[in-house]
Structures are given as structure tokens and as C-alpha cells.
Structure 1
């Protein structure tokens, strides 16, 4: 069952398990046991169990009476007459498969195959034994592999489908022996033709339908009129034709598998085995029979066959999922070192880790606050209508778009069949690895290749030619767009879901990204998109009035959002009451205040609850804090800023906020020490970097609820908090202007670099980036006490801050270049800087920075020491 069908079961907040899907019973589908047995079939013949060996063929009479139609035997005998060579080779291989493994190899030139054709009953009994032996052997061999669980899923499903068929229709042993012998191709499915795999799944899942054809027609002949005999005989001939096509396909599959594997591979490549044509012949015979059944108005037969066919199609989907699981396990084991290196080079942001970090920073995901979206009409139409291939979710800051997408991701993953694929990406404006079109493409390509290793071939086609330039060149988005398109096209057995959060935080090539989404939504019917963003007109102009895009506005669903926020508030207050020991009265008071001031904004609720958690002592003080917080997000930010500027250590708090408002990614406390302009008193104490970092921690805690700490790294609680500091509060945060603050980060960075960098930082004794010296950068491990940990941000981004502080300020540039800090740094530490970039795996950024640095100093090259200007060129 596809995801879209599964989601239909889930909408309406239905938490009930999916409907039970049962095999059609005897009440709906006539089976051999309750129906009259054909008179030619012995009534006292024991029905052989499908899952156990039968008695020896020697104990079976040489002949058995024919069934009324006896279509399987007719088809087998006809094929033996028309293609004796194929049948002989097939029987020889079956006997070899069922025989003792220690037996001497048979003479392939001998016509003796050990399949007894003296009687149909004896042959059928032999085929049952062969089928069981083949199943047991496949299972035994599978258990010894690293993908045993996946292969056993295929074997178990085959047993489930075959056992009732053989018990009810003993003559089905003729094709079932071929099925069980050919099951071995599913141990290594990627080595087989796709058309052959698809044909095998088609045949296995429809085996009951095939056998029921003969059973239904036999009953019709028994009960029919003389005038119907001509039509029924014609239908009988078509059934035999179908059975012949099935047996031919199965025999060729068995021969193909057991023959020399290289030769079999050539036959697949040259289409000498004509798998596609064979499958078309089978399907055409099925359609002819189905059409005749309808034409002859065999209503009861038609109804029964339809029911069985519906069950077969459902099992076909399940079988494909199991085969896909085997293929994925096999491909994972076969990833070459070059594949693994390619994946490492693609990796920029792992979406799984990004999602975990986002949920952690935001205080965890409250799943129930996301459930309203599954009842939303726009969401329903997105997943139910074929033409609605993209869903744009948009709303104001703090309305919970990111956490809503996290909830949707979890819901899709929970119901995702193996034929469908899900990938997602979170744009983050303050993360260089997450705020460009190229970063989005790399993240999704990596995630798809990690989940489906067979897709990495699309990356390798370009990677093997361009290497890492594929990911770092200015036009890399073009190659990556084509690669992603090819990957999605390869996933043609199901639906691919791509979800992208916060388009407004994609700061480079956002328009290209949106055009790409629109184009692919129109071109690729198996691709479904969900994107989120703020209510920006520049984004809305791309998505509004597009036939393939549905728009879901959070503001237009205020009632549902309000209910969800109420649930979130209740959850947060109950958690607070448990942690702080609030009594029922105060718990209700807190909940009432939050409800009255939240304005349907999750972020506001989260910030206030964080402040309440940080409040120590009697609930009286928590009540004071709660009363002080104003309603609305902007007013809350203003209140928080006033607390920072009027509190203790206000100057250091302003320095921290100033630094964090301008850096290009979240930074650690150690990195902050290298960037921030600490007070003279702190600098004069000559404290270690670690000691200074510990001093900064309580300063960060004093910065109200703007910041959050995770794993020694400082983040803004939300992008809107950073925007607030750079916008309405810019004068308070940057009293001397942003340019001066940029200069402060630049100056502190190169001072820290000149203090901390030296030759051979990791004591490798040879340059770590040059293969010719026997050490590759990928083989270098970071030392336990890594001196570059504190300098990492400064190494990579000092040029960015230089560029920002000198933009349009020639006087500032001249001071830096003419005997200033920049010239000194280039004279003494330029090569050490390059070595550090190499050790940080950031040479790509270093090359880009060197080019921009050249542009900066070009306005006045004579004032820069000539040798170092040449170095930059």
C-alpha cells in the first residue's frame, strides 16, 4: 500500500490501526475443498502439505486420472513437445537442485533428467519435493548472509502465498517448482534484469488467480449447458496458452540463474532472454481471458476472480517492498571505497542530525500540536490529488512552521512503505552549510544516496570526472540539480517526498531553488514537495496561482492553530508544575496568563516557559516574572533587551550579543573567546582560553532568552531573535555601528591567529595535505587537545568580517593594509593559515577567501608588501 493511501487512513486524527487485509475466504471465493472435486480426481488422495516433504515418488502409482481441464499438465506437455531443449535443461537443473549436493555432477549430454513422465501424478509429486527442497535451500543459504533478514522476508512471503495454493490445487506444483527454484535470484536481485524480477513478482503473487481460473472453469463446465461448450472450450484453450507462457518464463528464469553468471549477464544485456516480451505475453494472455470472462457474462466467475486479483495486487506491492529491502541491503554491502568517499564529499549537512538539533534547541517536539494539519483541506488535497504535487506552508515568525514540518516528517516516516522515499532539509540562515541552493541540493542528494545506495551511481557519473569541484564550483547547483532529477526518476516504483523548511532562510540562489521546485513539480509525477516559509511576497509570487502548488496559510487556519497552541500551553504548564511543584491553583493561573498573551505564537510560549524554568525559589517570584512579560513576540524581545542592558555585566552582555548577531554560524565558547572584545581587566589576567570560556557561560545566561546553549555551542533561540538585534535594537547592540563591530571580530580573530598558529600544528612532521609525502588529509586525526578548536571560526571567517568592515571605507582599508594588522598577518602567518585551513578540511573556503582578499587589497596594491600581493594573486 502506498503512502498516499496510508495517509488517507490516517487523516481525521484517526489513530486506529489500518484495516485488516485478509485473503478472500471460501465465502467469497470458491475453493477446491467446498466445491465438487472433478470426477477424474481420486477422492481419497491425500493432500500434500506445502511446507513439508512428501512421500517417495516410488510409492506413487505410475499414473493418475486426468482432471476435467488438466490445463497445467497440458501446458507442460505441449511445451515439452515444442521446446524440448528448454524443458530438458530445466528439468536437469531442477533435479540437480533437489538432489544430494554430494552427488556426482550429471552428464549434461545425457537426455536422462530423472523427472519421471510416466504419469502426471508422479511428476507432480516430484515437483512438490523439488519446490520444498529449493525453498529450504534458499532459506538455509540466506541465513548465512549479512542480509539474511531481508532475503527471508521474500522467502517467507513466497511460502505464505504458495502454501494454500498447493494445498488446494495440487497440479500447481508444476509451476511452483520453477518459482521456488528461481527464488534464488532474489538473494542477489541487483545482478538480475529488472524485467525478470518484475515478472517473477507478478507470477508469484498471481499464482492463486492462475489456478482459480482452471477451478472456476471446471465447475462451469460441470454445471453448464450444452450451448456454452464452444465458448468454454475456447476459454480453456486460452488458459492453456497462459499456463504455457508462465511455464516458459519460469523455465527460462531457472536456466538463466543456474547457468554461468557471466553468460547470464550478457543475455540480460542483449535481451536474448526477452524478459520484457515474456512478461508482456503473460499479461496479454491474462487480459484476453479476463475480457472473455466479462464478454461471456460469467458473473460469478468474474466476481471471484476480481476479488482474488485485488488481493494479488496488494501482495505484489508487499513483495516489491521486500525485494527492494534486499536490494538496498545488498548495495550497502557493496559500496566501494570510492562510493564511500563520494558520499563523504557530498555531505555538508546531515538532515537527520539537523532535525535532532532543531528539536532539541526548541525544547522538543509536541506531536499533538501538529495533528491539526492532517485534517486540513489543503493538506488532504495535496496527498490525494495527482495534480497537487507541492504544498507551500507559510506563516509569520514563531508560528511553529519548523516544528510542524518535523511532525509531518515523523508521520510520513511512520507510514512510509519501502517503495516510497522521504528526504528533507532545514534551511538555517545562520548556518553556511544550510543557507544556499547548493547546500539544499547536497543535503537531499546525500540523504537519498545514504538511504538508497543504488542511487549513488548518478553522483559518481559527475564526481568521477570533476571530483570535489562538483560541490564547490560556482555553478555546482546546475550539476547537482541534474543529479537529483536523475535520482528521483530512478525511484519509479513509488513516490518520492522532498520536504524543505524555511525557504526564507535560504540566502543564496533562493529564486533558483523555488524555480527548481516549481519545474520538478510539473515534470515528475512521482515527486511530491512540502516547503515552508514566512509570508514573504517574494516567495508567494513563485507559488501562488501555480496549478501544481497548493497553499496552506497558518493565519487562515487561526482556529486550528489556536487549539494546537492551547494544547502546547497545557503540555508546557503541566511540565512546569511537575518540575517546580506548582499547586493546582497556581498551575491554572499560569495557564490562563499564557493563553491570554500568547497570540497563537509557539515561540512566545516557549520563551516565557524558559524564563519560568530559570526562576528559582518560591512560586511568588515566578508570578512576578510572568506578570512582567508583555503579550506579543516583538514586545517580549524589547522586554528581554531592557533586562540585558540594565542588568549586571551589561557591557559584556552587549559584547556577546554583538558578536553573535554578526557571526556566520553558531560558535562554541572557545571560538567566542577568539572573537569577542573582552574587558581590559579580563585580558590583563592572562587567563587560559578554557578559563575565559567558563567565564563567558554565565554571561550568555544573563542575555535573557535570546540565546540557548547546546553541546558547548551558543545558538539563537530563533532566527527572529537575531533579526531583532540586527534591526530594531541595532543601536543598542552596536553603539558605534555594525562596521565597527565587524572590525572588532576581524581584529580579534587575526590577533588570535597570530598568537595560536604555528608551523605543523598537529606535529605531523610532513605537510598533511600533500599525497606525495605519504599523508593524505583524510588520514589525519584531530589530536586530543586540538589547538585549532578555539581558532576554527576565526580561520574560516576572518576575511568575511574584514570585507564587511571595509566596505566603502577606504580610510579603514588603508589603515589595515599600510603597516596594519592585515599586512603583519600576511607577512608572518599566511602559510600557517593555509595549513590550518587544510587541517580543518576548509581549503575550499580558504581558496574563496583568498580570492575575495585579493579583491579587497587590489584598490591599493602598492601599499601592501609586494611579495604577499603576489601570493594572493
Structure 2
């Protein structure tokens, strides 16, 4: 297989890539330890830093404002193990000080138990997409636990070593991390621990998953105590009330304690103001009494009023008090009036609209790039800071980062001022941010934006120049597609995706520059998801072929990244019962699945969307099969019928009736004119698919028929039965021409050899038999399995056979000798299904242990374990190009796995482009003209005289042969299998390089300049 990828235009540098051959697993060598890499990749945020930021933003943590909780009876019962449940739930309305209360509890627990205490916590924030989801909560909790106890990192490494950073970010991240957390909590070395989660109500995504985990795990580990806080939401009450066996600590029910703490907080804040502003005693007391009588027991209200007084001249302080009505909503309303009266009202509203729409807090530089200011009234951060101050009760600015003062501020704007700040709707605002994001990226992104010149080192070692050229474009680089998608979701806003060809132009001119910027920003994983979403949007809107081609070219990098790591690229959800069978269409664009829910579904393999739901069967559907031309689909059911469907319309073309018991198996003839069906009524029926009439009724078996298969030439049909026999039928006459006897138990799988001369059969008698079709004799009996055999399949060349068994193994047999040449061990439960890859180099197996494994068919080594299903996997099938594998499971889902064989150049490129956040991508631009890797058995250097050692000037190899160098500087990293074993296998005639690889390949690199470093 060969693949060519090119990007034309300004961002060109790498022109084409072609590779013929095979690339195995690619490993990156890094100076840091794997433990360090794992911990860094796990970190979504450091909750310690979040706690420091929160307390500093709120003016510091005042003990008097939280010490009441320490004397609370319910808190003391929880702390002293006097409660049967170890979950403490603190709940209350916005602004009641829940977050600061938890900060105080964390400090007290640390003081009580010392610095070695296992206290892990996380602060959810709805306005920041990075920390507003259940998966991020788990990442934060696990991060603090393993950072404090490095020995616990082994529970993370168990999966991380296989998946890398994708473990924390892919579609299965929640499942993997929840299992990891449970394993950590069970670890005997964890003597005691406190897990604290603030603001459950600000967990915007997968809150129910998080609530279920908290409710289950809080009673499972006696050495672990939990604290959570939230607003009083019905969903949270419903989930947590069932496990909280005593009343939670309600801040409303503890109003006296909270009010007392607020009063102490007021005294502290007013005294601090008086000291700074030099208030007279009567002014200080007037302010104190006003706050005391109007705070309504709300910390946030006090903090907002004091923040405004801090900006007010002392002589105006008393008069200014009058503009602060009691209650948060009234205060926000008054502040909105202030915005309206401001000379910068329109810019203020723009800023509030942007902040209500962005996916995370943004910097002043990023905000500047998104705001449209008439006549360029300001062009520096100081002017923008002054305008943000006008929005002071809504926004806060700390260390150049703009964020909402509190979630309640954003809630107020979207509830009470929506038409003012977003007059054209949220979709228009998303599209505005998308458009301005592209503008700033066009203006900013360029080749070697940090002027690194020497790209051979990890991205983590990159130091930002001053000023940072990416400062304004950082947010846009990560989230531009999210905003494009956000505008598409608003039904009231009509989106033109390729308006003025801007997206096409961006991919043509700035794609490689964007990849480089993402690498520097440590956000390549976000870019991967962005391109996937972009392609879906283009497909949905049927945009221009030019844009489609460009996006597909870009997305090919993403497919290859996923395939290199064996990730599930789609989880097809929709069935309500177990999925029994899957089948690809011949062109690989669609997938069909059958389920116990009595339906068949057709899925778009590219988008993972359900295209059609085929309803009509009245019992479980056991099998599905596409016609060769892909226009029809057949399904077999326990309702004793076979149905044929039009795959374009989803209509039932015909219902084939006649069986008197369950239909177990169906098979199209090669020309699609006939369909065979096997039933528990002990018959095989052959149907004319044009007329829906029965052609033959084959009745010689005495028990259930479990498997049928057409011969390669389509002239005969074989059937395997519960009566222990195999029969071969002549298609033309419908007569049984052979009965193959020898098994002592049911025959549940049969398959023809590629040349049609032999049949293999698998039985529950633990054997496989090979039969000569001409004589009906058993040629060999393959013995070795210790339990029932469920599935068999021939290799493409007919020289080998694979078998899968309930003994948890797969065996590969040499049919010339009848011996088992490989036993594939690794599954922890019975193996249900196996399938050779189209090129015969790999074998896939599906098991009751919930996994699919990919094996190297030559060595028997396990190439990858595909984890993600939550129940047994029963059916697997390769796409015809061998790039993808589909699996069907009892967990009611179908998964599509991208498993490219590595026989195309982009697999090597993905090492450079898409190894998540680890390498600076400037080596995109080393001016490579052509990579051409041929599969050559022996390697001979081009010219022994032209060999250069690393000490020579010009091109060379590093001492460990892992880098191509120029003048001794690392230039282009080489995966392990592309390094020469001996220095004599590296040749450089002028600017051409040839490397004899340990893999048996030769790499030829044609560099178009004598020094590609110059001019970067």
C-alpha cells in the first residue's frame, strides 16, 4: 500500500511522502523518565495552583470565615468516623462561600495530619472547558494522589505504557481513569485518604457518571473519606441522597453559622479597606453597618462591594454605597446599568459576549484579537484593562487572564441580559469568534515562529521569545473549530462553512504552521479532534470538493495517528440490547450491525452516525450480510425469517418466510443472485433474491444447522450442524453430494480453503478437521485445544489455518504438517471470533474478556490490545483495505478501530506530526523532497568513500544514530527501526542521504538545500 500526501501553497516545505514496506511500533526516546512523562500527561491542572489562585482572587483565606464548620456536629461525626457513610456533602446557594469553606477544610486537614496526608482535591469551573467535566475531575484527583505517593503511579502506568497520553483524552478516558482510581483506592499502601470535589454543579459534562462514582466509591473503601460541594440541584440531590445517610450540611440550614462567618469576613474586609484607603472611623463604621445589614449572608456580595469600593475615592465611598442594592441579582443588575452608561458600553458588551461564549478563560492578548474596536481606540493591555474594570462585577483580571468573577455572574448575563450582549444569538457570536480566530492565525502563524532554527529537541524544552508571537493566537489555534461547530449547532443562525473560501485557504496556506503552533502550545491532541470535527462539518454541509479534498488530506494524518496507537475512533451507540453481528459494505464506507433489540442498524463509518434503523423483525437478529454491490443487506432472525433491505432507503424489499425455527446464518452467493439461510429447523434454504422465491430446500441434517459457506466458485454450499456432520450441497440440483463424518460433537464453524479443494470444520469436541472435498476423507485432525473451538479461518494463501477456543487461546496451524506452529496467549477468557487481516500479516481475535487483540501472524506476538468494550466481544471483521476493524459486543455497542498496517509514508510522518505534544514540529520544514523507502532484503552503502561520521561538517548521524544531524546539531529524529545498525550503512553523496535500516529497508532522503537550517 502507498499513500501520498501534499500541501501546496505558502506552508509547503514537506512536499510528498511515499513508503512501501512495513513500519512496526514507533518508540520515542526521551531524556525524561517514563514516570515523569506519565505524570505530565496526566496533569490537566495542578489543583494546588487552583486553590492558591482561588484564595488569592478572594483576598486570602480567613480562618474566621470557615472555622464554624470545625465545630459542626455533622462535620465532627464525619471526621471522627462516627458515620456509617464516609461522604460529607456541603450544599448551598451561589455566593455562600462553599469553595472557600472547602479551602479552609483542606488547610485544617493538612494541619491536623501533616504534610504527608493524602489529601486530593479538585475545583470544577463551568467557564473553563478544560476543568468542567468528569474526566478532568478524575485526572486531578489521581494526579495529586500519585504525585504524593509515586508508588501508586504503577496503576496509571499499567495502561499508560500501552496508550500514552491518549489514555487520558480519548473516548474511553472516563472508563480507564475510573478503573485506575478504584485500583488506587484499593492499594494496601494507601492507609488513608481524603478526596474533595468542589462545585459538582459546575461539572458540565458527564456529571451523572461522576455522581454515580462518588455514591458507589464513598462507601466502598473504609480508609477513604469524601467531601463534595454543590448548589441544591435536583439531579445532585437524587444521586447523593441515596448514600448520604444523615442530612448533608446545608448552608441555608446553618444560616446562623454562615451569617456569623460573613459578619467576621465583613469586619476583616472593611478594616483592610480602611487601612489602604485611610478611611475615617465614621466612614469605616458606616460601610461596616451597611454591609452587615445588606449582605444576606452572602460572601460573594460582600467581596463584590468591597472590590468596587477599592476603586472609589475615599470621599465618595459613603455615596457609592447607595448603588449597591442587597442580593446578588440586584447587584448584578445595577452593575449592568453601569455598563450601559459607560462611554465604552459597546466594547464592554462585546467583551461580555465573548467571555460568555469562549471555552476557557483567556488572556488579554487573546481577548484583544477577538474584540472589534471602532477606530482602533486602544491597542495596548492597559487600555483593555481599564475597559474590563468597567465590567468589574462580572469579570476579574489576574495575571493578564480574564475570567468571570463567579459562575453566578455568567448565569445572570445569559438569563437577564442575553438580548443585549448577544443580540444576534449565540450562533452568530460563535461564528464571529471563529472568523476572528482565522484572521489572527493568518496574521500570526508562520514557519519557525519561535525562530528556533535547530528543531531537534522536545517541545517542553522550547522557551518562548519575548514578546511571545503566539500570545494573541493561542486560544484561536486550539478552539477555532469548536466555535465553527458552535455556530453550526444554533438552528437560528445560518452558517456558511466555506465563506469566501477561508477554511480552504487556511488549510492550503497555514496547515503546517498551525501544527507547529499546536506543538509549541502542547495542544496537538486538541488539533487532532479539531480536524476530525471539521471533516464531519464539511461532510454534513456538502461543501466544495476542493475543501473536502483538503480536509480529507489533513484528516489522513489523524487517521494514521489513531491507527498507530490502536485507538477506537468510533463507538457506535444506539442498540438497546447486545450486538450479535457486524458486516462491512464492500467499499468500507458503511457498517451494518444486528442486535437482540430486533433491529439492524447501518452506520456511516467516517462519522459514526446511524444512517438507518431497519425495523421489522419480531425477535432477536442473529446475522447480517451485505450483497457484493452494497445495494442490499440481508438479516437473519429468531423470528424464523430472513429479510432483505434496500441500503439506500432502509426499506424492507422482501421477507423470506418458510423456516420453522430460528435462522442462525445467512450467506450471499458471489454474484448476489441467491442467498442461503441455515436454521434450527435442520434445513438450509436457497432463495432467488430477485423474486424472493425459494429455489431449494436442503433437508438432510437431523439437528440444528449452525454454519453455512459457499465454495469460492459459487457452485457448492457447505453446512455444519449440531448433528456433528458437515454436508456439501450442489447448487444446481440442491442435492447433498457429500456427508463428512468424524466429529464427536457439534460443528459450529466451517470454511472453504481459498482454492475450494478443502473444507475446515471446528467442533466442540476440541478439534479442527481438514477434509478433501473430492473424496470426502478427513485429511488431518488438528488437536491441541483444551476446550470448545468457536471459530476458524484460512489464511489468504491457504497454507495456514487459525482457530479460536474457549481455552483462551488462538492457534495457527501449518496445514502441510498438521501441527500447531503458534499458540497465541493473552486473553483471560474464551475467544469467540478471529479474522485474518486482508494481507495476512495480522490476526485479530475477540474474547469474552471484553478485548480485541491484534497479533503478528508471523511471530505470534501481541501487537496491540484494543480495550474499551465493557462486556464480551462476539464478532469482528476487517475492512477490505485492512485499515479498520469493527467489533460487536454484549455492551450494546459497535466499535470501529483504526489499525493501519504502517505501510504508508504518513505512518512515519505521524511520528513527527502527531506524537502528542512531545516534539517541536519545526522539522516539518527540513525541505525534504521525497521519502522513498523500499523493501530491500540486503543493504549496501551507496559509496563507502562518502560516509561521514558525526564529527564531520554537514549532514551526519548522532552518536546513537537516533538523529540525522547538520554540523552536529540534531535535525531529523529517526524511529528505532530506521536507524542503521552500523555506521557503514549511512551514506551521503552531496545532499542525498541513504540509510540501511535494521528493519531491512533503505531510506533515501533528497534534501533540496545543502543547509536546510538556513532561512528557516
Would the TM-score normalized by the shorter structure come out above 0.5?
A: yes
Take 1:344 and 1:733, find their aligned partners in 2: how far apart are those partners? 39
Cα contact 2:110–2:117 (8 A) shared by 1? no
Counterpart-to-counterpart distance in 1, 2:492 and 2:482: 17
**Structure 1 residues 818, 623: CA separation in 2 closer, same or farther (over 3 Å shift)?**
closer
Match of 1:343 in 2: 39
CA distance in 1: counterparts of 2:262 and 2:99, whole angstroms: 14
Quick one: which of 668, 679, 687 aligns to 2:363?
Answer: 668
Tell me the CA shift for residue 547 of structure 1.
5.0
CA deviation vs aligned residue, 1:416-451 (integer Å, no higher than 9, x gap): 157741111111112222111111111111111111
- C-alpha distance in structure 2 between counterparts of 1:818 and 1:415, whole Å: 61
Question: 2:435 aligned with 1:747, yes or no?
Answer: yes
Q: Distance in 1 between matches of 2:358 and 2:539?
A: 25
- Are 1:698 and 2:386 matched, yes or no? yes
Does residue 432 of structure 1 match 2:120?
no
Where structure 2 has 5 or more consecutive residues not aligned to the other structure, the ranges are 1-30, 556-1016
CA distance in 2 between counterparts of 1:661 and 1:493 reads 42
Please name the residue that 2:376 is paired with: 682
**Does the CA contact (< 8 Å) of 2:200 and 2:230 recur in 1?**
yes
Which residue in the other structure is 1:712 paired with? 400
Pair 1:357–1:615, CA change in 2 (3 A): same
1:797 to 479, 503, 527: 479
**Which protein is richer in helix relative to its size?**
1
Instruction: State the Cα distance separating 1:639 from its structure 2 match.
Output: 0.1
In the TM superposition, what is the alpha-carbon distance from 1:667 to its structure 2 partner? Answer: 0.9
* Max Rg structure: 1
Asked if residue 724 in structure 1 is aligned to residue 419 in structure 2, the reply is: no
For 1:622 and 1:418, the matched residues in 2 are separated by: 44
CA contact (8 A) 2:534 2:551 kept: no
Q: Which of residues 54, 60, 65 is equivalent to 1:358?
A: 54
Does the residue aligned with 1:858 lie in a helix, a strand or coil?
helix
Please give the alpha-carbon distance, in whole angstroms, between the structure 2 residues aligned to 1:797 and 1:726. Answer: 21
The residue that corresponds to 2:448 in the other structure is 760
2:95 is aligned to 398
Q: Distance in 1 between matches of 2:308 and 2:417?
A: 21
Normalising to structure 1: TM-score of the pair?
0.58
Conserved in 1, the CA contact under 8 Å of 2:428 and 2:493? no
Q: C-alpha separation between the residues in 2 aligned to 1:552 and 1:695?
A: 45
Please state whether the residue corresponding to 1:761 is helix, strand or coil: coil
Q: Deviations over 1:271-324 (max 9, x none)?
A: xxxxxxxxxxxxxxxxxxxxxxxxxxxxxxxxxxxxxxxxxxxxxxxxxxxxxx
Residues 151-300 of structure 1 mapped to structure 2, 5 A cutoff: none
Separation (CA, whole Å) in 2 of partners of 1:437 and 1:761: 35
Match of 1:771 in 2: none
Matches within 5 A, 1:627-638: 627-638=322-333
Q: Which of 317, 339, 349 matches 1:654?
A: 349
Hey, what's the Cα distance between the residues in 2 that align with 1:419 and 1:693?
42
SS of alignment partner, residue 662 of structure 1: coil
List gaps (5 residues or longer) in structure 1: 1-334, 769-773
Q: Alpha-carbon deviation of 1:780? A: 3.0
Give 1:478 shift. Answer: 1.4
Aligned mates of 1:858, 1:399 — CA distance in 2: 48
- Richer in strand (by share): 2
Q: Would the aligned equivalents of 1:390 and 1:549 in 2 still touch at CA under 8 Å? A: no
Aligned match of 2:72 in 336, 351, 376? 376
2-structure distance, mates of 1:712, 1:776: 27
Single out whichever of 388-397 and 651-660 deviates more from structure 2. 651-660
Deviations 1:22-64 (A, max 9, x none): xxxxxxxxxxxxxxxxxxxxxxxxxxxxxxxxxxxxxxxxxxx
Tell me: CA distance 1:546–1:633, structure 2 relative to 1, closer, same or farther (3 Å): same
- Residue 599 of structure 1 aligns to a residue in which SS? coil
* Aligned-partner Cα distance in 1 for 2:296–2:479: 39
| Superposed displacement of residue 386, structure 1 | 4.7
CA-atom RMSD in angstroms: 2.0
Q: Structure 2 length as normaliser, TM-score? A: 0.50
Check conservation: 1:391, 1:550, Cα contact below 8 A: no
What is the CA deviation profile of residues 389-426 of structure 1, one whole-angstrom value per residue up to 9, with x for unaligned ones?
A: 00110000000000000010000000115774111111
1:505 matched residue in structure 2: 202
Residue 829 in 1 paired to residue 510 in 2?
yes
| 1:468 maps to 2:165 | yes
Whether the 8 Å contact between 1:394 and 1:533 is mirrored in structure 2 is yes
Count of matched residue positions in the alignment of Structure 1 and Structure 2: 523
Residue 857 of structure 1 deviates from its aligned partner by 1.3
Q: 2-side partners of 1:559 and 1:654: how far apart? A: 39
C-alpha distance in structure 1 between counterparts of 2:230 and 2:160, whole Å? 32
Q: Which residue of 2 aligns with 1:863?
A: 544
1:571 to 268, 279, 285: 268
Hey, what's the Cα distance between the residues in 2 that align with 1:508 and 1:349? Answer: 17
Whether contact under 8 Å (2:369, 2:436) holds in the other structure is yes
| Paired position in structure 1 for 2:113 | 416
> For the residues of structure 2 that align with 1:692 and 1:418, how far apart are their CA atoms?
44
* Structure 1 contact 441–484 (Cα < 8 Å) conserved: yes
Residue 178 of structure 2 corresponds to which residue in structure 1? 481
Alpha-carbon shift at residue 550 of structure 1 (Å): 5.0
**Quick check: 1:496 aligned with 2:193?**
yes
Answer with 843-852 or 858-867: which moved more. 858-867
Q: Within 5 Å, which residues of 2 pair with 1:50-89? A: none
Aligned to 1:781: 463
The reply to whether residue 453 of structure 1 matches residue 150 of structure 2 is yes
